Amino acid sequence: MKTSEAVLPSTKPQPDVPWWRGAAIYQIYPRSFCDSNGDGIGDLPGITQRLEHVARLGVDAIWVSPFFKSPMRDFGYDVADYCDVDPIFGTLADFDAMVKRAHELGLKVTIDQVYAHTSDLHPWFEESRQDQLNDKADWYVWADPRPDGSPPSNWQSVFGGPAWTWDARRKQYYLHNFLSSQPQMNAHNPDVQDALLGVMRFWLDRGVDGFRLDALNFLMHDPTLRDNPPAPDDGRRKTRPFDYQLKIYNQSHPDILRFIQRVRELCDQYGAVFTVAEVGGDLAETEMKAFTAGEDHLNSAYGFDFLYADKLTPKFVEQAVAKWPDTPGIGWPSWAFENHDAPRALSRWCGLDDREAFARLKAMLFTSLRGNIIVYQGEELGLTQVEIPFEQLQDPEAIANWPLTLSRDGARTPMPWVVQSGEGGFTCGAPWLPLGEENLARAVDRQEADPSSLLNLTTRLLRLRRENDALRLGSFQVLHADECLLAIRRVSGEQSIAGLFNLSSVPVVWPQGLVRDGKELASVNGAIVGQLPPFGALLIEERI
């Protein structure tokens, strides 16, 4: 396979552009990144030890998934203390050391904030459930039963079953859009909003550079508790009661926008703080644009377009990027091909025999997109989905919906750092999930030593993106999209870069005159001017 080195950059990043605009961000799932103490679970000191690997990739920032104090029923997304580190991950001092080291390496630090719900062990909820008169009685969503004793609405939980659980102390139901151990906060309450903004200020004061706001469209509900209507039969597979409803009233309340404005106002006080919303669901595109509109909302939104797609085609890419045109008032997108909740892309998008070639094509396409790109740990190695047997499952959703829901555990397996059996240098103990034999063979040390590896290619492509404004900040135009060939053009100032991607397993000859003559910046899988072998891709700096 041919892989050409990137040429010297034609342009330098613009100094007046915020650091996050066009950034490449590396997602770290703490449980699975690096274990420093041998208990089989990754931790903050382990992250600090391995940050040089991340910095060498050429990314701009890290995003660290939840590490807060938690009973871990949903592995950190059930927070019991927003302002402390869970002991399995370390201490606040360990967090401070991680931030310090990241900044020394030129990396910004972003963290998750989970505001839609807490753990049922959070002191706020423990006080709220005592009775209907305490100081935090209205900090969560409580409601009386219907006259027949049934739940106050027909709302369903994402993880299966009713979204309401009876609490005998209050003689009321409480709402939980996810696990019953994740009670829904009442973010309509100004005191709750103030408390959440206080949490954000706590981490900003510790040097955090940005936030991913988890499940933000679940933050507020319809206070009148109207029933959701049934979802029409659109041909999509339904595996949970949640899938049978249009989620109109249990989420997506318009007052979320007012809270977002308060978040932006606070973050602006600290300078160039990056804020990105995670938004899923039937109305995701509309909500993402509303959450990022203008200069008084969030900086970006994190979409699900690619995360659950079962194939990658030129038309699909064209449709996804078309949702975010470069026009005034439209927000700035953030893209991910993989994350801790979605199956590994190579396992979804190509057959076993094509994975090596497809991984190279995928890396070049990803680094050519307009917006921020979020690289999930191990994606730079070409990790694939690991099959986890039922008896080893940790994921509560997969256990509850077995065998209809694909386990998230298969994408959360530990990072292989060195080629050795079992633990792959991730831990000196027993890893909390198996690494998978296929992924062990893709360890960091093996790929670092191989100039033609996916790791080294990804590093070159990320640096190419970082050093060329057309790729990082430029406009995005689809020149051609058919069953096999995707051709794009990125333009910034006087620089124009064309990208040609053969997303098929057959050779492609591109139409004459499709792109202008110029200088080759990068090539994968034997691509040359005019011809793209199977999964071939080429970047050309065009003469203007």
Catalytic residues: 214, 278
User: Residue ranges of the alpha helices (H) in 61-210?
Assistant: 92-104, 123-128, 190-204
Helix (H) or strand (E) holding 81: strand 81-85
- Closest Cα partner for 370 from 425, 312, 440, 322? 322
Q: Alpha carbon 503 to chain centroid distance?
A: 23
29 near 394, Cβ under 8 Å? no
- Closest Cα partner for 114 from 70, 153, 77? 77
Percent helix, strand, coil in the chain (nearest 5)?
30, 20, 55
Q: Which residues in 129-230 belong to E strands, given as ranges?
A: 142-143, 164-167, 172-175, 210-213
Q: Which residues in 216-304 belong to E strands, given as ranges?
A: 274-278, 300-302
CB atoms under 10 Å from CB of 9, counted, come to 16
Q: Which residues in 400-514 belong to E strands, given as ranges?
A: 475-481, 485-492, 495-502, 508-509
- Closest Cα partner for 35 from 429, 427, 430, 435? 427
Can you tell me whether residue 478 is helix, strand or coil? strand
- Closest Cα partner for 106 from 57, 55, 62? 55
Assign residue 497 a region (left: φ > 0; alpha: ψ between -120 and 50; beta: otherwise).
beta
212 near 278, Cβ under 8 Å? yes
Q: What residues contact 379, with CB distance under 8 A and at least 6 apart?
A: 337, 338, 344, 345, 458
Q: Give 282: exposed, middle or buried? Use CB within 10 Å, 0-12, 13-18, 19+.
A: middle
For residue 496, CA distances in Å to 133, 510, 529 come to: 64, 19, 16
Q: Which residues of 236-261 are buried (b: 16+ CB within 10 A; e: fewer)?
A: eeeebbbeebebebbbbbeebeebbe
In the structure encoding, which two tokens stand for residue 395, read together?
A: 């994921």
- Closest Cα partner for 13 from 117, 93, 106, 83? 106
